[in-house]
Each structure stands twice: as structure tokens, then as C-alpha cells.
């Protein structure tokens, strides 16, 4: 079921990006990029490989600094806060890696325990186990508790990666190519999970993808990244029924070829 654009009842910005520029040597990746994430929405950042999507995410979480421009996350200007403040901010922003980034030597339970033990030491053993069960139930994989990552399918590992990200109860979720490398049926399941996470945990999310089916199913709003800036923003229909040649070419590449 395709997502609907949020109404104007809640326009609080949880991420605000203005005039963002980032280059690596002579290669300009982001150029005067402007983007807002509204509280409670799933925002899809859509673009071809190499368009700057992953660089954008790294700047949002403070792994890279902008050359020019402002990036404000949950009221904090990311490149102007101390490292200690940045670490605290990152606990409020969950990053779901494309590779799932699970520890192969740990069971599913241990993978989910690790961020809790490291960041929420005040939790009792019972509270920790309850949180783990809740997250695994949320992604539909409670029975995998004692399995190793190598025993899981690609889709299951992706789900466990999302559960591990959710376990710290972030306010913002960042998904990096959530459907990459998955078969069509599993992609449908992951898209549904992203929508379920939004509804159940009231998250705001940026979903980085070049997959138009994913974009159509999970995005309240689409922002199309072209030549380092956001060329088109709006619902899926507004972006791809605009008559814009670049948007149409991207659509044809995904759905016709």
C-alpha cells in the first residue's frame, strides 16, 4: 500500500539542511542542497548510484563535515557541537546499514544486547531481555533469538539489523538502501516493515534508495537528488508526473528496461 503525504497538522522539522555543499578534491558531490525532514514522516531520498546519497547520510550523523551549509538535527547544528554532544545525538538517530552490519561471532540475542550494554547500563537483565524480545517481535523474528547471523537469510539479517537499530529507541531512523540485494518478495516485506516501524515507534525516517518500488511504498514524500541538489520534492505522483525529463528517465530506467 502506497504511503500518503502527511497533512499540515505537524510541520516540526527534526532535520533541517540548508545550502549544503560537499566536495572531494575537484569532485563536487553536493551543491547547495536544501532538505527538511518533518517529524513523523518517511522521506525517501532518491538518486542514482554516485549521486551523493550516502555522503548526505554521513554528514547528517557527523561522520563527514560540510564544506559550506547548515545541517541541524533535533535542534543541534551537527558540525558545531562537541564530540561528546555528537555521541549523545547519535543515540537519538538510528542508522540501518545496507550490509546489516551484524557481528558474525555473536548470536542474534548478543547482537541486540551489545548496544544496550554499551549505552544503557542502567537497564536490569530482565529489562534488557524484555527490550530484545520486543524488538525481535516487532520485526517478526522472535524465534531467531539464539541463531547466528550465518544461519539467517539476507532478508532476516536485514530485519535483525533494523531491530538492533531500534533497540535504543531512536527518534530518527536512517535507512541506507534497505532493499539492496534482496529478492522481490523480501523487498515487499522490508518495505512493509519500514512502514510498520514508522507507525509502531512513531519514528521520522530518511530512506536512501535508488529503488522506485521501495520509494513508492514507503515514502510520504520523495526528494530526488540530481547533480548534487534536490531537483524535485513531493509525493511519488508529483515527482514522476511532473513532466521533468530527468525524473522520467529515472522512472523509465527502473520500470521499463
117-133 per-position pLDDT tens digit: 888 878 899 999 999 99
Residues of the chain with pLDDT under 50: 256-257
Alpha helices in 167-230 (DSSP H): 184-201, 212-218
- pTM (2 d.p.): 0.89
Q: Give how far Cα 162 sits from Cα of 115, 129, 199, 208, Å.
A: 13, 17, 15, 14
Angle between helices 125-138 and 108-119 (to 10 degrees): 130
pLDDT of residue 257: 47
17-40 per-position pLDDT tens digit: 999 999 999 999 999 999 999 999
Amino acid at each position: 500500500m502506497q504511503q500518503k503525504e502527511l497533512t499540515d497538522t505537524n510541520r516540526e522539522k527534526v532535520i533541517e539542511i540548508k545550502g549544503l555543499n560537499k566536495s572531494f578534491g575537484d569532485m563536487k558531490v553536493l551543491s547547495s542542497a536544501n532538505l527538511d525532514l518533518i517529524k513523523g514522516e518517511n522521506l525517501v531520498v532518491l538518486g542514482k548510484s554516485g549521486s551523493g546519497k550516502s555522503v548526505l547520510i554521513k554528514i547528517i550523523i557527523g561522520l563527514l563535515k560540510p564544506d559550506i551549509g547548515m545541517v541541524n538535527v533535533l535542534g543541534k547544528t551537527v558540525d558545531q557541537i562537541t564530540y561528546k554532544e555528537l555521541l549523545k545525538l547519535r543515540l537519538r538517530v538510528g542508522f540501518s546499514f545496507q550490509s546489516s552490519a551484524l557481528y558474525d561471532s555473536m548470536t542474534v540475542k548478543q547482537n541486540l544486547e551489545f548496544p544496550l550494554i554499551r549505552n544503557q547500563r542502567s537497564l536490569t537483565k530482565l529489562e534488557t531481555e524484555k527490550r530484545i524480545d520486543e524488538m525481535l517481535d516487532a520485526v517478526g523474528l522472535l524465534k531467531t533469538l539464539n541463531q547466528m547471523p550465518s544461519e539467517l537469510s539476507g532478508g532476516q539479517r536485514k530485519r535483525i539489523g533494523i531491530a538492533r537499530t531500534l533497540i535504543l529507541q531512536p527518534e530518527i531512523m536512517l535507512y541506507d538502501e534497505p532493499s539492496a540485494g534482496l529478492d522481490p518478495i523480501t523487498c515487499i516485506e522490508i518495505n512493509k516493515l519500514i512502514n510498520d516501524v514508522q507507525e509502531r515507534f512513531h519514528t521520522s525516517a530518511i530512506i536512501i534508495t535508488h529503488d522506485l518500488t521501495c520509494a513508492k511504498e514507503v515514502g510520504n514524500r520523495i526528494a530526488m537528488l540530481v547533480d548534487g541538489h534536490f531537483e524535485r520534492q513531493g509525493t511519488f505522483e508529483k515527482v514522476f508526473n511532473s513532466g521533468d525529463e530527468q525524473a522520467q528517465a529515472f522512472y523509465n530506467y527502473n520500470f521499463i528496461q
